[in-house]
Structure 1
Amino acid sequence: MRNLKKALSLVLASATLVGMVSVGASAADFTDKESITNAEAVEMVSTLGIINGLPDGSYGPDQLVDRASMAKMITLALNGGAEPVLGTKTTPTYSDIKGTWAETYIEYCSSMGIIAGDGQGRFNPTGNITGSQAAKMLLVALGYDSTVFGFTGADWEINTNREANDAGLYDGLEGLQASAPLSRDDAAQMIYNALNAYIMEKTPTKNSDGTTSYTYSLSKNTTLLSQKFGAKVFVGTFDGNANSLSLKDGYVQVTGKLTTETEGSNSASFPAEIAISNIGEEYKVIFKDGTGGVANQPDSKDTIYGVYKTDGVSVVNATPDQISTSYTTAGKIKVDGTTYSVIDATNDATTAVVRNFGAKEEIVVDADASESATSFKTYKAAFESLAGQNGNSVKFILNSDGKITKAYLTEYTLGTVTAKNSEKVTISGVGAIEIEDNDIYADIAKNDVVVVSKLYDGDNTQYVVTKAESVSGKVTGYTANNADTSSKVVLDGTTYEVYNKAAMPASVAGDTGTTKFGTSDINADYTLYLVNGFVAAAVKTSETASNYSLVVDKNDGSVDSTLSPLKVVVMAADGTKTTLTVSDKSPSKTIAEGDIVTWTGEASSAKVTVKAAYSDAKTSTVNFYNKTAKTLEGTVTAADCVLFAEVSDKGVDVTGSSYKAYNIRSLGDIKTNDVKYTAVTVDGKVVAAFIDLATEPSGATSSAVYGIVTANKGVVEIGDGEYYNQYSVWTGAESTVNILATGSNDTLSVGDLVKYNPTSDDTYSDNTVFTRNGAIGTKIYVKSYDESEQLLTYYTSVEKKDGAYVGSGDAVTKAVDDDVKIVYVNADGNKAGDEIGINAFDSINGYANAIIVTDTDGIVTTILVETSGECDIV
């Protein structure tokens, strides 16, 4: 059985993964690996046998290094990681090392001038070593002469740190305190740096007087790593693994060359583990040539000391919706708002886009090929062709010049598990696949909704199957892409984009799926199934009170008439009004204003079902609704029961009647005797009701928002032949309102401060629903705002004294609600304001700088703050 059980991420992410090694321990094996900062360095020095782990299986990165341990580390580094044959002196060099475990290592380093005592004949083997002391030892190990380079005397530390910085010993240790004790984590990094540093070469010169002098210079190609371990460093691009290329199981391929080479490139195949998500990135392979292999490149005959990702290649991870196709600058594309140059055209046919690691045909570019040829594209066109509204993963590779050179695309699809046994699982749109040979999550079961990615080609094809993310809630809005698809849906206030703006499946996990959202789905409960955040399937989970609407207006047309069709205006539970052209009605009786209905289909051709006819209305008792018992005329109400109400004294079926919708559980007791009402009861609970009231019921709360009209966008068509005047309004966020264009009461003015109750579709029958300017609240001159105490002090007028404005009369102080809404506006520029806080008015110009709105208890619930300082707020 092929071993294809490799974990793959659904999103291409840049993760540093360590390669397979053939000797020593691995940093990944240490029990405290998550605490290791310098993972690559620890990996290398432990692999080379220079630093061992602790007896309990940990590395102990925060433990301090003593002087004896450092002597051992350097001894091993200078002897290729092996324990050398060492001896001891009859009389030890230092008085405090006799019989200690590190005596031979200390003597070895002392004999080479790497270490020195304290000047009093002692070495202090158990004392902590500092960064500077360790650097001095490593520099001498690299061939630096202590006397020549000033590592002795009063300035030894200054000179040591200068040379250590130049040699790169402190690379990656920017926060190191050189005079402080050195940790095992930082010691590994310092030794790693020393291994990769060029050695100092000492060249003798015979003088004319017979003496010998020496010059010192850095080697151009010899490091401790190459000199003591026979190691070579191969750097190149990760091309793929055994699944994506024709390699042995457990092998990877990297194309590059030795760091000592300046030209040429070779593809090296060797045993290692690099996640396929790192494809296209640069890796450093440290190895020792073995017998029988290919010289100067890693292969199966070699000792692989380590495989590490470098920072030589940059990547940009994105989803297709972040790729702009409207950016027209030649040779450049825009990804997530950032512009990138693309590589210049080449005369040779070159792969620009690899799709699903070879599972799909690659996109090839060739400067000599016709751009009209189906198999060839320009680089820019190749990358832009990936754009789309979906959750696929795109990984762009950038070269050293910052130009995009290649892209790797991974595509995902949604499916339902239709069958499963111990060996196979069957997924809609995929078929039956072997569980053992594919990456499938545990406990997969029938009717699971899953995300599937098909990777690799031919015999190596592998499916990655994960359980789909789902979110549930109430649909409050949507955007139609065309007659058959949706582009966006709003669920509990969060907007989700529909995968590829395509029709969703009609069947999902045994349930009926919604292929496209329509007006009948507003306020319905849904479960959305997501692929990397994009909606790929939708299932309506319940028929709730939110599906009921109230007929608030109608014409005299008929269902069967082409010239004069029956049209009705219905109001949903959130107050949204929709004009329906009725293609079918049930029962066949006449639809009347005040009827509670449900409807299906499109607004232009809707089937309307009367659930409670106003002609059959009952008469209420004095205790119509009891808040404590949650009952309407003695019958318990559902938690989401909608109460429609006519709240003016005009009466039902009168032009200009004012209808509102409420969640009845949010209201207080409603006591009204001998008033007509209707109700819809499901499973013993009232789910929708309508009552003819003269005023708003007690406890009704406002959902009003406040803001400034920032732009007139002109006339737009919404729906079937309905024209609206469209405006932008800043309410703390950019909002859009559309007022039905009738020629009267249909306009707003840029700069108007407004208060209104939003509808889910942003459409309004006239401008009378917008309270404007001074009518929305009290214009004030702020004196002070104590945010901690939630107190606002202000004046309602000012007067000029001694050249400055001061408040007139006594200042007023009001409590501010904990959930106060604060909207910043620039009334001078008719735009959104800066969030400057609620500051005192400017006494130089004397402009009113805020409007406040209070509730019935006088508590401030909303504050509009003028931020320009150039005019009154209104």
Structure 2
Amino acid sequence: MRNLKRALSLLLSSAMVLGMLVMGSSAASYTDVTSTHNEEAIEVMKAVSVMVGDENGNFNPDKTVTRAEMAAIMANLLNLDYDYYTGAKTSFTDVPEWASKYVAACQANGIIAGYNSTTYGANDTVTAAQAGLMMMKALGYFQYQGDFEQDWQLATIKQASKINLYDGVNSNATDALTRNQVAQLALNTLEATMVDFTGELGTEVKLPDGTTIQMNYRSEYSNRAAKGGYDYTTTAGTDDNTLQLAEELYGNDLKKTATSDNFGRAADQWKYKTVTVGTYSDKADATYTSKVSRADLYNLVGKSVYDDLTKSQNPSTLTVTVDGKSIASPNVTDYIDKNNTASIGNPAATGNSSSVEVYIDNDTNDVDIVIVNTYLMKASDDYNSKNESVAANLVGTVGVSLKAGETPISSDDFAVKNVKEDDYLLVTLAGSTDSNKEIQSVEPATVITGTVNSYSVGNNVTIDGTKYEYSFSAPTDSGHDKNVSFEIGEQTTVIVDNNGYIMYVDEATVAANKYVYIAEIGSQGAFTSQDFVGDAYFMDGTHKTINLKNKFSDDSSVTKNTTGAWYAYTVNSSEVYTLTKLTAGAAENNTGSVTSTTAGTLVKNGNVTIGIDKGTGTAIKANNSTVFVVVDDDDNVAVYTGVSKVPTIKANTGKTVTANYVVSSNSAFAKYVFIDASDAKIDDATTTSSDFVYLLKYDSTNKDADKNDYYTYKAIVNGEEKTINLGENFSNSETCFTLYTDVKYDENGYVDSMNVVDSNDDYSQVTLSGGSSSGIGYEDGILTTWKDNFVVDQNCKIYLIAADSNVKVDAGKSYEVSANISANTLYTMLKGYKLTGNYFAQVNDDTNTLTTLYVYISATAAI
């Protein structure tokens, strides 16, 4: 092999640039190279002028490599003096002119061979086995025919696998290799140890037919000793006294140093001469892009690693970094814990779109957890070609801030030349503290615009039939974050990340909570800027007193206990409301009222007329989009959407009832209606079921395609654990771990009303206070508590709802349900504890036996 340095012309033909050198800055500038490609190998190959991109700045990583191109790559890799072979002729007749000197150089140095003496197969794609053999010959292997035994391909793959030559190549022996794969194969070869033949050649024997065989040949190769003090790795203790191909070719010019990247990942930094090629992180043992539980990581690392991490003497090390910030002394069980479905971290550190990478050292059982979040920036101007940068800012509140000088974003660092004003950008950030983050990556965000079909506040929104969930790292920004309520059927625009999770709500037609009915406005004291308050009824059924902005002090008609009216509102961060009164004859929203006759019917379920028995005012029509806010004689507030849901409301004897409404100027139907029914009878049209509902936990707030609000709870319904939807008469704070009956459903299947069980249902409710006598006993069919001695029916249904860690198995769950257990099992699970919680017990009056029992345990203490 002639190890002669050569200078390559940058003026190559387009046919040659596929495997040769052209101008370019770095692999990071290749627009067609992504994180799915072998970036480290591609960049190192470019740095040492072995494989680079074309004249358009592309590397073409997915293009297959021909055998002619492979010869050019090998000539570049081994620094062969191929110019010496310019114009030389080979025995091959199928080699194009541009490739002849590379093929000739490789053939002369024993790197390649043809199919036969005249056919090289120049335009055939090179296979993994063929390319691997070329690389291994460069390392010193396969110098003699006897090395191949019976099958050259099998022998090549076998030996290459022993020295990890195909790591990261991901190919079968006969697969055509891409430029991406060849780059990785070439880097693996540079890092491989060279060898010399130390076997026995044996004796050549010529057979009668003229063929020659090698008798007593023994194939053996030994690592070549290091020379010249060369060591391409600079980490202490890595000098193995052997010679790697990188050291043979580049001496001390090419260096790899073990380090960590800005996110805290273990990494290698490559440097060629005085130029830093790049820093490349190790491959994670596992990567997650959604919520990761402690049980997930326990299952990943296994019991042995977990035991080493938690042992008292010389434990293994757990390190955790979040966006480059190291978490001080992380508690192992906050991240790795058997049967614990809680999110890793304390508080939770991951969710949708968080990238969680886990690295396990198989020698030490150390575990590194690296968490990388995606953040959102918005361009404040077009890309400035003069300054070669674009100005952009982080969107909303995200708990971190950028280091000074990180903006504007330079096109020298990131591909931002096509960014326009108001474009959204997805960025990753890293820094040792939350206040000094540096931008690590920039790419355009995806904008989704469409019609809202349904949504669940804080969880997801369905747009044009596709459900989008919110990102864990989405910013907090009132009116644009996960707490937005949408208007069903209207257009919205959301910004999503690469995993399809919502980062930001750009434009939303927000639901009707921007309107409020003020029953009364008055003063708490002297007329000062902080004195004015309103008795407010909101569209979600909330009733509260709100503080009003002092502009009302200029309007005496407002400050003197004004009677009810509809208002549009805004509210600031101090919870001070600015009201704009909606008036009759307004251009957008007219207001009006209608009062029933004495003892007359104001509205009737299923009837479109508001003011059926009209006394005074103007009757108006309603439809299934009309929102009714109704206050009963106990000051309970219910919200109904549509005439099919609103109950019949009829004034009491000697009384009238009034509806105050808002109607759009271009519509004949009321949008919002407020009815104070304290002097009226409310006749609910729903029917009562015989269901028993044991509420477990609030899950989400939702709006369906018909604009119906409902609240999803986890529950036990008639003994089955499932979810149940509570309608608009409920909220997200209903009393849980409680048993209800008299359940009424509306036509959508949502619960309209329900009552806590009582003695009329043969149920008793008992509190467990945690005292010394609050335990439980069981013997011979008798279940005892501090209050009751139950004879247990043989078909008794018993449910244990455990929220205490001494009873539940999964520490990550807020509760666990054990359904249809026996009284003896209940006793076994709870014995030895003083109990805090409650139970609901049903006793059959005829047999005086316990037939159903729900036991909730919130806390325990040893007796």
Q: TM-score range by the shorter chain?
A: 0.3 to 0.5
TM-score, with structure 2 as normaliser: 0.45
